[in-house]
Structure formats: C-alpha cells, structure tokens
Structure 1
Amino acid sequence: MALNVLMLSTLFPDISRPNFGVFVERQARELASRPEADVTVIAPLGVPPWPLSRAGRYAPLLALPRKERWQNLTVYRPLFRIVPKFGGATNVGAMTRAILPLVRRLHAERPFDVIDASFFFPDGPVAQRLSKALGIPYSIKARGADIHHWGTRKGTRKMVRKAADGAAALLAVSGAMRRSMAAMGIDEDKIRVHYTGVDLDSFEIMDRAEAKAVLGFSGPVVLSVGALIPRKGQDLLVRALPQLPDVTLLLAGQGQHRRTLERLALELGVERRIGFLGSVPHHKLPRIYAAADVMALPSESEGLANAWVESLACGTPIVISDVGGARELMDRPEAGRIVERDPDAIAAAIRDLIDHPPDREAVRETARRFTWAANGDALLEHLQDIVARGI
C-alpha cells in the first residue's frame, strides 16, 4: 500500500500568489507522482481579525476555496487567525486549533502514515502537536530563515528546538544548514541533506541576444531574483552599479524594501539603469535568466537558494555571498564567484564575468545534479525509512 503523507506547508502557491512557495509545490508534485506515495497538502492561511482581513493582501486569501485540486494535488486551505507583525509566537497554537479538526477527520477516513512539515516555523511545532494527537511520526525540513531567524528569536527558539527534538528525522537544504542546526544543539545524526531541484527542461540555455531583444534590453544585464527585503542584499547591487556604467540591473521580486531601493538609486544617479520587474511568474523566469549576463544575489543568509540553481541551469553564472550552501553548489570556476558583501567586491566580480564570460554549457553542468527526480527519490526514501522504523 502507498505511503499516505500529510504535507504541511504555510508556504504554498494559490491563485492570488502563484509564486508563493512554488518550490514546495514542485517537491510535493514530484513525491505525489510516484505510485509509492499518496500526498495530501494542508496549506493554512493566516489572516487577521475583521476588518483587517478584508483589506490589502488578506482579502484575496478569504476568497480562496478551502479545498481544491491544485496541479494534480488535493490541497486544503484552512484559515487561522494571526496578529500581523506581533504574533509570530502565537501562530503555532492558532494554526493547530484551526486545522486539527480537519486533520482528525481526514485521518479517520484514511490514516496518515507520516507528517512532512515543509518549514521549521511555524510548520514544525504544529506538526509536533498533530503528531501527538494522531500518534504518527513527523519530519521537518530546514530551508533558511526558518532556522536563522525563528530558530534564534527569543519567543520562538525553544519551540523550534522542541520540534526538532521530537521529530523522527529532519531534512536540511544544504550541508551548511545541517551544520547550523547542529550548532544550535539539534542532533546532527537525525539530519539528512536534501537538496532542492530544478526543471532542466524549462530552465535551459537560450540564445542570449534573442532573449535580450524580446525583453527590450541591450548591453550587459545583471539580474537579481529574490524578495525585496534587506536580507537579500539588493542594496549592495545598487551601490555597485556606479562602477558598472554600461550595466542594466533587473530586480525580479517584490517586497517592502522596494521604496528604499528606489530612493537609493536616485541618490546614486543610477535610477535609469534599474528595472523593477515585480513578481515574475515562475514559468517566465527562464527567458529572463537567459537574457542576463550575470545573476547576483549577495544575501546575508540563505539555505541553498533556488534562484542560484535556476540561473546556472540557464547557463548564466552567479555572483553570491559566502552563505548557506554556496560552496556546495559552486564546484567549478565557470559557475561564477563567491564574494564579500561589499559593493566594490561585487562590482569587480560582475565586471570580470561580463568581460570574460564562461562557457554556458560548463555553467549549466553545475546544476545538472539538482534534479527534481533526485529530490523526490530522496524524500520518498526519507519518509519510508521513518515509517519503517516505527518512530
């Protein structure tokens, strides 16, 4: 009989946010495509009390169906109450109370074998509570900020540690993340490195000149893909731009840091050479990667960024900071450069890659080991092992 998996994820796409957690969705689809596994996704939606729930980004969430078929997956979207900006530590209890009746009903209809939590917070502590209620084991995957941020905050770090201690086994998106978890006191023997995947059929090498022409660009293009938040370091790219007078910088992503970046660009006189692309649909990213001479993301912290791997798969070298799994990924000079989080160092690395472009096939070769098939094989084996051990 197929393994019956309950996948819990607070980061999962919906019609109003098609890019939100698209890599979690792809991992879920890969697992569900296998005859050895049945997957049910619970993707809780946090909304504040009325009247805030009727405004801004929350209103579209209320309009979503509580159950739907999404990319051949059965997805439940129960609502739970949040207190914006202040209630991170309270989300675990609120989410558990909101989804436990649904989980009990589904478990009674066909018992789940294991819970797969996609993030450490709040998903991990919620999975721990569901595990206790249902009497089944759980696993949690660490991806980046869920450990670096929530795992260190005063109000949440104990919950993160407790969830790790209670898990049957754990996943980390990189070896560096595994070491970070161990440094927090989490049992390293429980942690398996589980790399992300990339669709090598969609993210492929295209004609760069043609891609630039389609998008209306000429000359060197530097792309940065990531949420516009301080941690991602787009401000360092803006500060590097005066040293790259022939370069256009494209920022794909959205976030509260956009106005700060716009003001900085004006101060430096480079505003005409920056394009804010907003949230780009995931299926349109390959052509933008193809148009770029370099993809740069000087983050303060990462696990192993999907944008790194996607860019390499398109034959576009990357300039990134020495964080997370950077050195696990960058196993050849053609892949790009690992640099200090300094505008001068970033500008120099970008200039070198533009003036001396590496062979694009050699760049792509870096990404070939990061397939979704390998990701799915490893996840299935991980969950099967948990159930077989009866933990």
Structure 2
Amino acid sequence: MGAVSGIAVAPSDRHRTGRRPLRLLTFTTLFPNPGQPVNGIFVENRLRHLVESGEVEARVVAPVPWFPSSHPRWGEWSKFALAPPTETRHGLRIWHPRYPVIAKVGMSVAPLLLYTWTRAVVGRLLAQEDIDAIDAHYFYPDGVAAALLAREFKKPLVITGRGSDLNQIPQYVLPGRQIAWAARRANGIITVCEALTDPLRNLGVADDKIRVLRNGVDLVGFHPIDRVTARAALGLSGPTLLSVGLLIERKGHHLIIEAMAHLPDFTLLIAGGGPDRAQLEALAQRMGVAERVRFLGVVPHQSLATIYSAADALVLASSREGWANVLLESMACATPVVATNVWGTAEAVTAPEAGVLISERSAQGIVEGVRRLFAALPERAATRRHAERFSWDKTTQGQIELFRTITGQPF
C-alpha cells in the first residue's frame, strides 16, 4: 500500500500500470479547513480524483493567514485561527502553516511572505518524502511562492491558473512581473478554461507549455434528487431561481435581487456567506422583494444537490469567472443555468439544454435571460446529459500525462 501520502494505492493498480505512483506536493492557499469548509473545494475535488486514479500520491501544504484568536468578536478573521496545524481529509494529509498578511501594502510582497513562512514546513516534507514535483494552484501569490520553493528545493513545478490570478492581477505592474517570472520558471502550466490562455500568451508564455484541463463535476455527488421531495424540504412553491457563491460584489447577487422586482412570480434562494449579506438583505427590502428572497447561509458542499434539484434555474451573474464550478454542479442535478458570458462560462454553457448566456451584466439582462430560458425550458434529463460530458476523467488523465512528462516518469 502507498505510504508516502497516507493514501491507499491498491497493489492491483500498481501491478496493472507497471509503474510506481507519482508523488506530488500540492501547494495552495485555496483548500478547505475547519474554519473555511468550502474554501477552494474545487482544488480538493480535482486532487481527490487524481489520487483515486491510483497513479498519484499527494501531500498538501495549504497555508492559512495568521490570526491570534478564533473568538467570534473578530468576525471573518477569526475563522483563520480554526485551522489546525495538520489534519487529514478524505485520506489526504494536509499541513496548514501560518503566514502574515499585511493590509494595503501586502499585495506586492505576498508571494515572498508566503514563501518565507512556509519554506521550513516544505523543506521538512521534502527531506522526509521522495516527492517528484510541486503542484501549485492559483498564480498569485501561491504560484509565485511555489516557484521560489521549486527553485530552492530543485523540484519540477506545475502551476494551475484559475481566474482572477490571470485575468485581473497581471494588470498590476509588480504582481504581473512576478506572475510572468513564475510562468517562465514552471515546467508546465494548466488553465481551467481556454479563455485563460490568452493572458498567459500576453505574458510571453509559449503555447507548448500550456494545457487546458477544465474542472469536471462529481456526477455521483451531484445528481438529480426527486424534485417533489427536494422542494418540500425547502418549502417551495412556484418557479424558483438559485444563486450560489460568496456574498461579494463580483458574484452579482445584488443584480439578481434587483431583477426580482421584474420577476414577480419567482422566488430566489441565495446560498453562501460573506461580507455583503447585510447589504443584500437591505437591498431586498428596498426593492420590495424581501418576502421572495431567502438567504440560506453557507451550505455544506454535500448538501447543495438538494438545493440545485429544487430550483428551476441557477443564475450566475459574476463579473468574472475562470471556470465556475456551480454551473456544472447545477446541470448535473438537472437544473439549467442563466449566466453572464464571461471567460470560461461560454465553454460550459454550449447548448440550449445547458441554459442561456446573457451578454449584459445587469438586472435587465438577467430578467431577459430568465424569460428566454423559461420560454423554452429544456428537459431536465437533457441538462443532466450535458453535464455528463464533463466528468473528471479527461482532466485526471491530462494531469497524469503532464506530471509524468515533466518528471521523466514512464507512461
């Protein structure tokens, strides 16, 4: 059995492949912990499927900002103190070293702080384990810090770009230069959608270094649940829209609430937590739709399937998204989507059975998109079939091929 990561690799898998598993050190601040149970869950999901292939073992270093106390009086900051120094999730051994975050001036020095405060933990792991490569997620600051670690410890490096790390942060001069340096230092680069390859090209990255490996969806965990049962559990009647995501401006929940004033027959469910909740609740009151807008708070990831299944459509009004996992999760539960046409979204919503794209990010654009979808609602079984095209298999195989290529391990 595999001992490097504490993740069991069946002898039959090793015999079948005729090669030992790759041994990766995954480095990212985007990873769940007890204080942030849904933080970076898409990174965890991709890694879990990779490990379940039997061809990869992994250790995870998931740094957390330092904060002295978990007392509730500190609000959102207190959640950082809840992450233990080490933990095991789904068989993955995880380390949570602390690093300082400096307000206002911290953006430019963030990679150096992250590198400096994690190198001891990473060094000890690399001294104890025969690690083949570093697997970093999110270019800034994580990818830059990982590039410094890879240089120091002489390990091959793959960085995955996921969204604003490539479509926004490179606009700032110093971070942009650091991202370009890390991209040159990396042995391989993954993007979660085709749209994110252009920013890399603009930074001078050669096409042959980039692989597009879209996030998949867990078709077992996200599946259609009996609608009558799901709706009864939530006390729903009439057409229902759903918005899922962190309660911040760029997710566009406020635009959907504004749209509700022009969709009088609809109920809106909002699943997620975040700093803008009070503002959004006040907006719903001002718009006169508070009785038809329900805030569900943070919903455990494993409980979302019931909510997706109960809704008639998911609305995603983001101003930017690399690859929005909620789109595929909703479709896998047989619920079509209405989404702004930003970055990788058009690569997921490619057919009428998936839903509709709106070109104007506004309340009126959402109203028109909802009406267009409901004028020709697809069969829910067809929506599910569309999601089935996005299993994790292709992404998992693409990662295995890339890591074996950069490490010189046999195929």
Q: CA deviation at 1:202?
A: 1.9
Hey, what's the Cα distance between the residues in 2 that align with 1:58 and 1:26? 25
TM-score of the superposed pair, with normalisation by structure 1: 0.94
Code of the residue aligned with 1:111 in structure 2: it is D
Distance in 2 (CA, whole Å) between partners of 1:204 and 1:35 is 25
Distance 2:132 2:161 in 1: 21
Is structure 2 residue 388 aligned with structure 1 residue 347?
no
Which residue of 2 is the match for residue 110 of structure 1? 129
C-alpha RMSD of the superposition: 2.1
Q: Which residue of 2 aligns with 1:154?
A: 173
Equivalent in the alignment of 1:249 = 268
Q: Is 1:227 the counterpart of 2:246 in the alignment?
A: yes
Partner residue of 1:12?
A: 31
CA contact (8 A) 1:198 1:310 kept: yes
Letter in 2 for 1:290: S
Query: Which deviates the most, 263-272 or 223-232?
Result: 263-272
Q: Are residues 1:383 and 2:392 paired?
A: no
SS of 2:387's partner is coil
| 1:336-390 Cα deviation digits (max 9, x unpaired) | 1111212222112212323432111111122112212332222122111111289
Distance 1:245 1:188, change over 3 A: same
Q: Please give the alpha-carbon distance, in whole angstroms, between the structure 2 residues aligned to 1:295 and 1:175.
A: 23
Matched, 1:129 2:130: no
The match for 2:351 is: 332
Kindly provide the CA deviation profile for residues 10-39 of structure 1, in whole angstroms up to 9, marking residues without a partner as x.
011112221111111111212222332210
Equivalent of residue 101 in structure 1, options 99, 103, 120: 120
Report if aligned partners of 2:69, 2:78 keep a CA contact under 8 Å in 1: no
CA distance in 1, matches of 2:36, 2:26: 19
What's 1:308 paired with?
A: 327
Match of 1:356 among 353, 376, 400: 376
Q: Tell me, what secondary structure is at the counterpart of 2:102?
A: coil
> Structure 1 residue 63: deviation in Å?
4.3
Superposed CA deviations along residues 25-65 of structure 1, whole A, max 9, x for unmatched, are: 11121222233221000000112578999933444433432
Count of residues in correspondence between the two structures = 390
1:374 is matched with: 394
Partner of 2:10: none
Please point out which of 134, 159, 164 is paired with 2:183. Answer: 164
Letter in 2 for 1:274: V
Q: Which has the higher contact order (CA 8 A, sep 6+)?
A: 1
Amino acid at match of 1:384: R
CA contact under 8 A between 2:70 and 2:80: conserved in structure 1? no
Larger mean CA deviation between 276-285 and 76-85 belongs to 76-85
1:73 aligns with 2:92: yes
Note closer, same or farther for the CA distance 1:65–1:258 as it changes in structure 2 (3 Å cut). closer
Moved more, 9-18 or 369-378: 369-378
What SS does the aligned partner of 2:381 have?
A: helix
Instruction: Identify the residue that residue 213 of structure 2 maps to in structure 1.
Output: 194
Which whole-Å CA distance do the structure 2 matches of 1:147 and 1:52 have between them? 35
Gaps of 5+ in 1: none
Q: Quick check: 2:22–2:55 contact (8 Å CA) kept in 1?
A: yes
1:205-251 deviation per Cα after TM superposition (whole angstroms, max 9, x unaligned): 22323211111111111001111111111122112111110101111
Q: Which has the larger displacement, 44-53 or 336-345?
A: 44-53
Cα deviation 1:175-194 (Å, max 9, x = unaligned): 11112332343333311001
Give 3-state SS (helix, strand or coil) of 2:139's partner. Answer: coil
Q: CA contact under 8 A between 2:35 and 2:81: conserved in structure 1?
A: no
Give the aligned residue type for 1:371: S
Matched letter for residue 246 of structure 1: D
- 1:139 is aligned to 2:158: yes
Counterpart CA distance in 2 for 1:53 and 1:222 is 32
AA partner of residue 119 (structure 1): Y
Amino acid at match of 2:368: A
Of residues 51, 56, 67, the one that matches 1:32 is: 51
Change (3 A) 1:54 1:165: farther
The answer to whether the 8 A contact 1:329-1:366 is kept is no
Distance (whole Å) between structure 2 residues aligned to residue 206 and residue 389 of structure 1: 43
Secondary structure of the residue aligned to 1:369 is helix
Residues 239 and 343 in structure 1, CA contact (< 8 A), matched pair in contact too: yes
Which one-letter code corresponds to 1:16 in the other structure? G
Distance 1:63 1:290, change over 3 A: closer
Distance 1:143 1:209, change over 3 A: same
Distance 1:313 1:228 in 2: 23
My pick for the range that moved more, 226-235 or 344-353, is: 344-353
User: What aligned pairs does 1:252-331 form with structure 2 within 5 A after superposition?
Assistant: 252-331=271-350
Answer yes or no: is the 8 Å Cα contact 2:64–2:83 preserved in 1.
no
Q: Residue deviations 1:97-126, cap 9 Å, x none? A: 111112112212223211110111111101
Return the alpha-carbon distance in structure 1 between the equivalents of residues 74 and 326 of structure 2.
31
Instruction: Give the residue type in structure 2 aligned to 1:365.
Output: R
CA offsets 1:138-171 (integer angstroms, 9 cap, x no match): 1111111222232222341111111111111100
1:263, distance to aligned residue in structure 2 (A): 2.4
Q: Distance in 1 between matches of 2:205 and 2:388?
A: 31
Residue identity in the other structure for 1:121: Y
SS of residue matched to 1:334: coil
Residue in 2 that maps onto 1:209: 228
Give the % identical residues. 37
- Given that residues 70 and 78 in structure 2 are in contact (C-alpha distance below 8 angstroms), is that contact kept between their aligned partners in structure 1? no
Contact in 2 for aligned 1:315/1:363 (Cα 8 Å): yes
Range with greater deviation from structure 2 (294-303 or 155-164):
155-164
